[in-house]
Structure 1
Amino acid sequence: MSNGVIFDLDGTLVDTNYLHVVTWWEAFRRRGHDILMMDIHGAIGRADRALIEYLLPSADDEEAQALTDAHAELYKPRLGEVRPVPGAGELLHRLARAGLQVVVGTSAHKDDAERLIGVAGAQDAVTAIVHAQDVERSKPDPEPVRQALDKAGLAPGDAVFVGDSVWDALAARGAGVECVGVRTGGIDTASLTDAGARVVYKDCAELLDHLDQSPIARLLTG
């Protein structure tokens, strides 16, 4: 088996987390639910239905679908405003040139995931994508990470996961994959470390600058 790095997308490679917070907040308000932005931010990284269940356990299927539709209506028109986080494309290309599998494992839907990978400037570096439609359970369940491993033909010990949320770190830990955290999703170092991240960087650019001292270094020489 080869070595590889699995990346989360929203908040890790592209600067979307707070856009999700605002559009989910407005979606909840449209449906008569007053949810604090602070709580919504803490739930970002879960797939749509899992996020709703976490924030509004009383929502039935009809209400959950209405909320999902409202969020999509508010979020999609603003995709053109999304920018990559510093160093995202450069990091993925550096890993691909080194012969590593570069995989994206995201809670985003397929069309959004492909578009956002394009925003990051990394289409030609990514070898596989696992998106929301590929899994039954979202992070923090380890299923998305395990699916990413299977899709790329990676063993847990031959991969590192890079993510920005507590849910990313918990999912990676559950799948037996070492996790590197980045703070571009707005989550602090202590929270990411407590959830299982071995080391935390400000962003992809800082990770790239310290690549040879990071957990990914062992994959480059393995």
Structure 2
Amino acid sequence: MRHGVIFDLDGTLVDTNYLHVVAWWEGFRRRGHDVLMVDIHGAIGRADRALIDYLLPSVSDEDAQAISDTHAALYKPRLDEVRPVRGSGELMRRLSDAGLRVVVSTSAHKDDAERLIGITGAEDAVTAVVHAQDVEHSKPDPEPVRHALDKAGVSADQAVFVGDSVWDALAARGAGVECVALRSGGIDTGSLTDAGARAVYKDCAELLQHLDQSPLARLLTG
């Protein structure tokens, strides 16, 4: 029976969440919208338009496009400066070497996702990638998680989702997949647990250190 681990990308495998926050904040500001950075941070993990609509429910299409364009213009040039979350590449390789399917499910666009996965240094450990263009709905809708399961050929009960946001935990729960959460994206343990995370670790390195006692252990021995 195939087993798999589905990873979120931003904030989970690469340290990008606060870079996103500043770029989105500037996008909103240039269009005359005063949105607090703390609120933007809480929305990270949703796809572009879903994030904008969550923060500004009545925003026009023109405004939304301009905000998104500013975010991309400020964010993309900084991608080469992004660093992996501690232990991310090592964790993915450990799981792949154990025979698990490693899938990345992200709200990032395809080109950004490929560049960021490369930053982990473990792109060859990844079986499949689900990016923004692959799905109609972003997290917290379970569609991205279900699509990742389909791509990996793994059933929900034989997979674990690893993410850093409330939206990740809610999407995993909606898809019937156990969730392990990381605080590397800046979200507190209580919020992650309340959203459905079975266990919470500081980052990939701490999860790797405690792998045999984590919810992923059953996949390694199953």
TM range (shorter): over 0.9
Counterparts of 1:6 and 1:28, CA distance in 2: 31
* Corresponding position of 1:38: 38
Q: Which residue does the alignment assign to 2:216?
A: 216
String of CA shifts for 1:142-189, please: whole Å, max 9, x gaps: 000000001111100000000000000000000000000000000000
In structure 2, what is the equivalent of residue 170 of structure 1? Answer: 170
* Structure 1 gap segments, 5+ residues each: none
Q: In the TM superposition, what is the alpha-carbon distance from 1:60 to its structure 2 partner?
A: 1.9
Counterpart of 1:10 in structure 2 is 10
Aligned equivalents of 2:76 and 2:181: distance in 1? Answer: 27
Amino acid at match of 1:4: G
The residue matched to 2:184 in structure 1 has which SS?
Answer: coil
Tell me how far apart the structure 2 counterparts of residues 69 and 201 of structure 1 sit (CA, whole Å): 34
What is the 5 A alignment of 1:50-89? 50-89=50-89
What percentage of aligned pairs have identical amino acids?
82
- Runs of 4+ with >3 A deviation: none
Instruction: Tell me by how many angstroms 1:18 deviates.
Output: 0.3
Paired residue secondary structure (1:170): helix
Q: 1:62 deviation in Å?
A: 2.0
TM-score with structure 1 setting the length: 0.99
Q: How much does 1:70 deviate?
A: 1.0
**Alpha-carbon distance in structure 2 between the residues aligned to 1:65 and 1:147:** 27
In structure 2, C-alpha distance between the alignment counterparts of 1:3 and 1:100, rounded to whole Å: 5
Q: Distance in 1 between matches of 2:211 and 2:141?
A: 28
Q: Structure 1 CA distance, aligned partners of 2:61 and 2:174?
A: 28
How far, CA to CA, are the matches of 1:122 and 1:129 in structure 2?
13
Q: Deviations over 1:111-163 (max 9, x none)?
A: 00000000011110000000000000000000000000011111000000000
User: What is the Cα deviation at residue 87 of structure 1?
Assistant: 0.2
Which residue matches 1:194? Answer: 194
Kindly state the Cα deviation for residue 58 of structure 1 after the two structures are TM-superposed. Answer: 1.2
RMSD, matched Cα: 0.6
